[in-house]
């Protein structure tokens, strides 16, 4: 199970900006951010590439991250077998 301290670094709110995502990337060193609602449910997934493309498209650092995040990420669970996880990726 992922450590709570790492999850805290990866999580950003639905109101997060591109800058907030960059701060999260820098803090975790992983280049991904988990966009979560007020109940800490996953509502989006953003990568450094998503933020870079937004900036190159002319969006500013205070632009909302959620508009650039993947709102329907493929999600697996730690109890799933490798075969089940591989099956998620082929859907």
Residue 1 — pLDDT band, cuts 50, 70, 90? very low
**E strand or H helix at 23:** helix 18-28
Write down the pLDDT at residue 85: 86
How many angstroms separate the CA atoms of 9 and 33, rounded?
A: 8
pLDDT tens digits, one per residue of 22-68 = 999 999 999 999 999 999 999 999 999 999 999 999 999 999 999 99
Write down the pLDDT at residue 74: 86
């Amino acid at each position: 199970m992922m450590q709570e301290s790492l999850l805290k670094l990866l999580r950003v709110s639905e109101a997060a900006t591109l800058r907030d995502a960059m701060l999260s990337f820098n803090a975790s060193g992983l280049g991904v951010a988990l966009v979560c609602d007020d109940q800490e449910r996953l509502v989006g997934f953003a990568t450094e590439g998503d933020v870079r493309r937004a900036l190159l498209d002319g969006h500013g650092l205070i632009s909302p991250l959620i508009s650039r995040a993947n709102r329907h990420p493929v999600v697996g669970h730690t109890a799933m077998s490798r075969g089940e996880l591989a099956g998620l990726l082929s859907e």
